[in-house]
A = this chain, B = another copy of it.
């Protein structure tokens, strides 16, 4: 297979064959331009912009609300059913061909279906019951206690809640950090999820974007330098437990060492761990550094719809109760008894998590993690054997590779792309069978591109020497 597709024809990257593939994530602090060759490809994660207008309206696929007042009942029902049935087909097709985002699409919440009849709302703080009775706080607190065990914090010492997504967890963690250390500077690496800098902007914090190593980890030396330079002010540090694009894990212990070396005592820093995807996996990886509240961290957030899998986006954020107590009473924190970001909260989400954790147990999750890491290595090996340059961080199931050049292929497999790279996040629903199909189609796609380029060369030559050939 290798012979069919040498990098020199099919690839876009002028990487010498003996050098490992180190993809460059575009700097997120520069304006994003339409990239030549990829005119209509969407960005993987929303990136900062400067200059030109960035919101474009896209009305083409709008499905207008039907005009009930003008249709008779039967016709209306028929049209609604048609819309829903067509949509279900599309969903199934897209679910079957999804590889790019860190979502575990393999879940079965069949026994919970009847719950959609109820408006389940965990209004406000999980630990302060409201009078609205149609809630699922019992499941929510059960799930939070499960996480407290996972992250090694006493039941009496934590506070947390089930969020709408990883972003809400990050918004919350950074906000608690700011309230604990109002004059703190926010530090995060440039490969950090954009929601962290969004938080800094929303909260009017000073923020420092720190460079990254080739792996995608924060550049520890640069972080140290910044911390030393700003030693007069407290530090609020976002530590990535798996970056969005490369799945890179910042070394928490090393960050703690740096803080010590630069003279920050524990009352002068706050660490938020963004564990969107990998925060759920790392506890089950043997050789991974421990992310635990036994270390002086302030908060952890993870997503629930990523590794766990769920019909709706959701997540968990956990922090120390004393911070919430402190900020609630002394600083009037969120100006309310409710220390969550959202007031009304989706009460179905905790039930999904409770159900999955109950069915799988720690052991089932450990097996899922193992399977993902194994299949990620398999995918890397398959791609490399087919001549596709790849990168896979040791503690990650995110396989990064050269961005495919056929738009239709990228769309079909819903690949997340950024700059020159694409990735597949190997989740429990990515089977070996699916990897086979994917690699085969990728190789075929690359062959088509290579053939087209080769023929273009011939075409140019023919045009230049019209008499030479045929």
Contacts and interface: CB of A to CB of B under 8 A. Distances in A.
Contacts of A201: 332-335
Contact of A62 (B69, B100, B141, B197): B141
Given A65-B357, A416-B131, A343 B113 contact: no
Interface string A110-142: 011111111111011101111111101111011
Nearest to A417: B131
Contacts of A313: 121, 342, 344-346
B416 A55 contact: no
A408 to B, nearest CB: 12
A175 B339 CA distance: 19
Contact of A81 (B32, B111, B113, B120): B111
Given A159-B55, A325-B55, A63 B142 contact: yes
A346 B311 CA distance: 8
A48 interface: yes
B137 A61 contact: yes
Contact count band on A:
35 or more
Interface string A302-340: 010100011111000000010011001100111111110
B100 A46 contact: no
Nearest to A313: B344
A286 interface: no
B119 A310 contact: yes
Given A91-B115, A127-B58, A131-B44, A146 B411 contact: no
Given A46-B337, A336-B48, A359-B68, A113 B115 contact: no
A116 B119 contact: no
Nearest to A332: B48
Interface in A43-61: 43-59, 61
Given A51-B329, A80-B355, A134-B95, A56 B127 contact: yes
A416 to B, nearest CB: 6
A430 to B, nearest CB: 14
Nearest to A312: B346
A414 interface: yes
Interface in A32-91: 32, 41-59, 61-69, 76, 80-81, 84, 87-88, 91
Interface stretch (A2-10, A164-172, A226-234, A292-300): A164-172
Interface stretch (A215-223, A247-255, A361-369): A361-369
B130 A42 contact: yes
B198 A335 contact: yes
B46 A125 contact: yes
A49 B118 contact: no
Contacts of A357: 65, 68
Interface in A132-156: 132-134, 136-139, 141-143, 145-146, 155-156
A333 B200 CA distance: 11
Contacts of A348: 311-312
Nearest to A66: B358
A81 to B, nearest CB: 7
A456 interface: no
Contacts of A143: 65
Given A97-B133, A165-B344, A197-B336, 5 more contacts: A42-B130, A55-B337, A87-B136, A88-B114, A115-B311
For the complex of A and B, list the 4 residue pairs with the smallest distance between their C-beta atoms, beginning with the closest. A68-B361, A46-B338, A313-B344, A46-B337
29 contacts: A46-B338, A53-B329, A54-B328, A55-B325, A56-B128, A57-B156, A59-B145, A61-B141, A62-B145, A63-B139, A65-B142, A65-B357, A67-B361, A80-B359, A84-B111, A84-B112, A87-B136, A101-B123, A103-B132, A105-B119, A119-B312, A131-B414, A131-B416, A164-B346, A167-B343, A198-B335, A200-B335, A312-B346, A313-B345
